[in-house]
């Protein structure tokens, strides 16, 4: 049975935290109350003091408690808490309670935990935009309704329900499925669906396929699973999030795109799917500076902009620089016939010069080794022959 770590700032939320811990213990689970106040609290009724957590900061307690600005102190304590949680081997659930500061602190540490470790936060900001707190992670957010400021008729129910949920997660392990196929992450966009579907159909007898929509968060989620040890390989056909990151689109990756490939050394087959486009919202939401560009209205909410040769050179450099860090088996395939469904002869984004700028950059900057190979194919990305090459290369590096 795992332990429920109830985490919050005892200088302001001690009563609420103790209430939650008490209900968890009454439900039959172990509970440990962890103080993450950004200043030492004398007499706090916590099982783990703020000083103990702060000592896990790379600079020690001084790295947290010497911060004069509250935001910096919260960030430092979040870093310390992440290190402290990483040293625990009995986490049944992590339960955070508090306002915006505590939510930022606790969720930052939660995001360092693997997918599948139960994480739950009762927060005053849980009814707004929670993407910055959750990101690509499985963090459950519960809106506190009233502020987390005392136990009353409302907070008693809301915090109590969360405490019982945390206890239930700690007391009841999720059954392991009988299917022992390894997990395979695949990135896909509408304009690369044909390719990814063919690949998935060819491999799903041996691999449990997880397809991720390349919307920024999708790529982050795929790489989070890799970091969590839940994937056995990656087929990253659709790297369009790089285009949005470099050009200001609405589906950007982070600077850590491909980082999990380097850290995990998982077998990796990638390509340049949909890097011919940058994504924006409705047509009238496209920034004015792009007024003279080539657009394709995908639907009322999504407008696509064709990338230029200069942008494609930047995209190629971004991908090459990060793949050069990877020491596992890497096969990167170039579809010389076009990189998306609308990048083909007669289609609105067909632009051989822009594509060639991308290909030339990858040829020049990707460092080829026996393990890291650049493979050029005359096919369009959605041609069956290209999908067959993806499958063949993946099978070769996963024997």
Q: Give the residue extent of every domain in the chain.
A: 3-171, 183-397
pLDDT in the model for residue 359: 98
Task: Classify domain 183-397 at the CATH class level.
Answer: alpha beta
Residue 45 has pLDDT above 90, yes or no: no
Using alpha carbons, select from 283, 276, 366, 356 the residue that is nearest to residue 319: 366
Residue 41 has pLDDT above 80, yes or no: no
Residue 69 has pLDDT above 90, yes or no: no
Residue 288 has pLDDT above 90, yes or no: yes
Q: Which residues, including other chains, have CB under 8 Å from residue 128's CB and lie 6 or more apart?
A: none
How far apart are the C-alpha atoms of 385 and 194, rounded to whole Å? 12
Using alpha carbons, select from 392, 393, 328, 333 the residue that is nearest to residue 362: 333
Q: Comparing 294 with 178, which gets the higher pLDDT? A: 294
Residue 139 has pLDDT above 70, yes or no: yes
pLDDT in the model for residue 42: 65
Residue 356 has pLDDT above 70, yes or no: yes
- Window from 96-105, 316-325, 358-367 with minimum mean pLDDT: 96-105
User: What value does the mean pLDDT of the chain take?
Assistant: 95
Percentage with pLDDT > 90 across the chain: 89
- Window from 42-51, 178-187, 208-217 with minimum mean pLDDT: 42-51
Query: What is the value of pTM for the model shown?
Result: 0.83
Task: Classify domain 3-171 at the CATH class level.
Answer: alpha beta
How far apart are the C-alpha atoms of 136 and 146, rounded to whole Å? 27
How far apart are the C-alpha atoms of 179 and 296, rounded to whole Å? 42
């Amino acid at each position: 049975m795992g332990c429920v770590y109830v985490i919050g700032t005892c200088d302001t939320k001690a009563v609420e935290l103790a209430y939650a811990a008490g209900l968890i213990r009454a439900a039959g689970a172990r509970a440990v109350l962890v103080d993450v106040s950004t200043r030492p609290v004398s007499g706090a009724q916590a099982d783990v003091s703020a000083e103990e957590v702060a000592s896990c900061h790379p600079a020690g307690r001084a790295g947290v408690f010497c911060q004069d600005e509250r935001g910096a102190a919260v960030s430092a304590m979040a870093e310390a808490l992440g290190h402290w949680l990483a040293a625990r081997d009995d986490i049944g659930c992590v339960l955070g309670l508090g306002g915006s500061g505590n939510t930022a602190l606790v969720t930052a540490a939660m995001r360092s935990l693997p997918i599948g470790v139960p994480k739950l936060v009762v927060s005053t900001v849980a009814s707004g935009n929670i993407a910055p707190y959750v990101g690509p992670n499985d963090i459950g957010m519960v809106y506190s309704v009233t502020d987390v400021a005392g136990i009353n008729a409302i907070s008693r129910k809301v915090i109590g329900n969360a405490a019982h949920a945390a206890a239930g997660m700690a007391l009841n392990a999720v059954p392991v499925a009988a299917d022992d196929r390894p997990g395979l992450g695949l990135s896909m966009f509408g304009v690369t669906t044909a390719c990814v579907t063919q690949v998935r159909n060819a491999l799903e007898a041996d691999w449990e396929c997880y397809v991720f929509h390349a919307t920024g968060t999708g790529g982050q989620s795929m790489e989070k699973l890799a970091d969590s040890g839940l994937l056995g390989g990656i087929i990253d056909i659709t790297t369009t999030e790089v285009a949005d990151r470099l050009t200001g689109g609405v589906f950007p990756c982070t600077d850590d795109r491909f980082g999990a490939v380097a850290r995990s050394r998982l077998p990796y087959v990638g390509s340049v799917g949909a890097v011919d486009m940058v994504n924006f919202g409705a047509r009238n939401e496209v920034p004015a500076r792009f007024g003279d560009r080539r657009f394709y209205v995908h639907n009322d909410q999504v407008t696509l902009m064709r990338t230029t040769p200069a942008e494609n050179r930047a995209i190629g450099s971004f991908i090459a620089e990060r793949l050069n860090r990877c020491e596992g088996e890497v096969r990167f395939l170039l579809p010389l016939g076009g990189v998306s469904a609308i990048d083909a002869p007669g289609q609105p984004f067909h632009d051989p010069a822009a594509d060639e700028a991308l290909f030339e950059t990858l040829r020049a900057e990707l460092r080829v080794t026996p393990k890291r190979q650049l493979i050029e194919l005359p096919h369009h990305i959605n041609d069956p022959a290209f999908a067959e090459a993806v499958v063949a290369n993946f099978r070769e590096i996963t024997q």
